[in-house]
Amino acid sequence: MDYNDLIKNITLVYSNDIQNSKESALFLFNALKQNNISSTVVSINNLTKNTSFVIVMGGDGSILKTARFYAPFKIPILGVNLGRLGFLSQVNLENINFLIKQILNNKYKIEDRLMIECEKANLYALNDIVIKGDTISRTSRFYLKINGQKLCEYLADGLIVSTPTGSTAYTLSAGGPICHPSCNNLIIVPICPHTLTSRPIVVPSTHEIEISTCKNCNNIITIADGQQVANIPSNLKILIKKSNFYAKLMVLKNLNNDFYSILRDKLSWGVSPKFNRI
């Protein structure tokens, strides 16, 4: 997508749940206007498909919600980080002028990020879909099949099915591997399993994941990107697979923002901890 197509109808998204989000969107609106680029400011709760490019003012949660909405329409998005980590963001508010310069000079690319779906729950996720039993105070038994073939059963607090993009989120906290966003696979990670032989599994994205549970559960709780929740009767099997939609994330050029740099800078990957002497 070149510059002329990109700026046809820019939408600036803000969230009332994030401090200074709307003010930041208005600041960017005026900065774009000074460069003869028109845009529209909308709330994250009132997204519309009538746009050519979306800039999200917020944290990773805002980007995930916006990405799920715009993925079916193949509309690219970019995040301006106003949160804590901003792993999916490209710039901070202080770099707005750099952002505009990159857009004006066509210094960007659009990455397709794999997404997953759970049809029975009508859920789509860029990061992950989490499966849990309806009894939070105790573990549940989950049965896992891959492409119709029985693999194993877990006694655990839940299961995470993650995309490569989500490998640095909940999956990482639960002991899963880190995958480069360009990898074409899915990651299955048990949450607090009650056996030392339970380990994360990485499978091709073309494989279909089937999860069922024991009769002691009335419902299976499914959670997409930590934001959308659906209850599925425990007598039904949950099928999770690669979505037909891809999230389109803009990546700016001439910026130290490759995946490995982000791991080092934002997750302090491989950096020895510092101890203060008493």
Q: Which of the residues are catalytic?
A: 60
Q: Percentage helix, strand, coil, to 5, in the chain?
A: 25, 40, 40
CB atoms within 10 A of CB 14: 24
In Å, what is the CA distance from 90 to each residue of 9, 20, 95, 266, 275?
20, 18, 9, 12, 31
Q: Are 238 and 220 in contact (CB under 8 A)?
A: yes
Closest CA to 55 of 99, 16, 104: 99
Q: Give the 3-state secondary structure of residue 120.
A: coil
Looking from the CA of 15 toward its CB, the CA atoms found within 13 Å total: 20
- If one counts every other C-beta atom within 10 angstroms of the C-beta of residue 197, the result is 6
- CA triple 40-42-44, angle to 5 deg: 145
